[in-house]
Amino acid sequence: MPAHLDPRLLRAFLAVAEDLHFTRAAARLYVAQQALSRDIRRLERELGATLFVRTTRQVTLTLDGERLLPYARRALEVQDELLAAFGRPDAERPLLVDVNSPGLVSGRVLALARELAPDCELMTRFESGLTGAAAELLAGRLDASFGRFAGLDPAVRARLEQQPVRYEPMAVVLPEDHRLAGLDAIPLDALAGEQVYAGAGNPRTLEWTDLARQLFEGRGIEVAAPAPLAVGTEEFQRIMAKKRNPVLAVMDFPAMPKSVLRPLVDPVPLSPVSLVWRKGLRHRGVKALRTAAARLAGAEGWLERPSEGWIPATDALIMMSRA
pLDDT digits (tens, 9 = 90+) for 153-204: 998 999 999 999 999 999 999 988 899 999 999 999 999 999 998 988 888 8
The answer to whether position 315 is within a domain reads no
Element (H, E) at 128: none
Higher pLDDT, 79 or 187: 187
Instruction: Cite the DSSP H helix spans in the chain.
Output: 7-19, 22-29, 33-47, 63-85, 105-116, 130-139, 154-157, 206-216, 233-243, 284-300, 313-319
The answer to whether position 320 is within a domain reads no
Contacts of 127 (CB under 8 A, 6+ apart): 98, 100, 133, 136, 142, 145, 204
The answer to whether position 28 is within a domain reads yes
CATH code at position 139: 3.40.190.10
The region of weakest confidence among 109-118, 253-262, 270-279, 312-321 is: 253-262
The answer to whether position 251 is within a domain reads yes
Q: Region 79-84: what's the mean pLDDT?
A: 71
Is residue 283 within 8 A of residue 90, CB to CB? The reply is yes
Length of the chain (residues): 323
Cα distances from 84 to residues 90, 142, 216, 281, in angstroms, run 7, 16, 44, 7
The region of weakest confidence among 3-7, 93-97, 138-142, 198-202 is: 3-7
Cα separation, 202 vs 311, in Å, equals 22
293 in the same domain as 213: no
The answer to whether position 294 is within a domain reads yes
State what percent of residues in the chain have pLDDT above 90.
61
Higher pLDDT, 235 or 257: 257
The answer to whether position 147 is within a domain reads yes
State what percent of residues in the chain have pLDDT above 70.
90
pLDDT at 200: 84
246 in the same domain as 203: yes
The answer to whether position 322 is within a domain reads no
Domain that holds residue 285: 93-167+271-310
Per DSSP bridges, beta strands 186-187 and 59-61 are unpaired
Q: Is the pLDDT of residue 52 over 50?
A: yes
Q: Of 123, 100, 125, 127, which Cα lies nearest the Cα of 113?
A: 123
Q: Is the pLDDT of residue 90 over 60?
A: no
The region of weakest confidence among 138-142, 144-148, 211-215, 314-318 is: 138-142
Q: How many domains does the chain have?
A: 3
265 in the same domain as 122: no
Per DSSP bridges, beta strands 186-187 and 259-265 are parallel
pLDDT at 323: 45
The answer to whether position 29 is within a domain reads yes
pLDDT at 232: 59
pLDDT at 231: 60
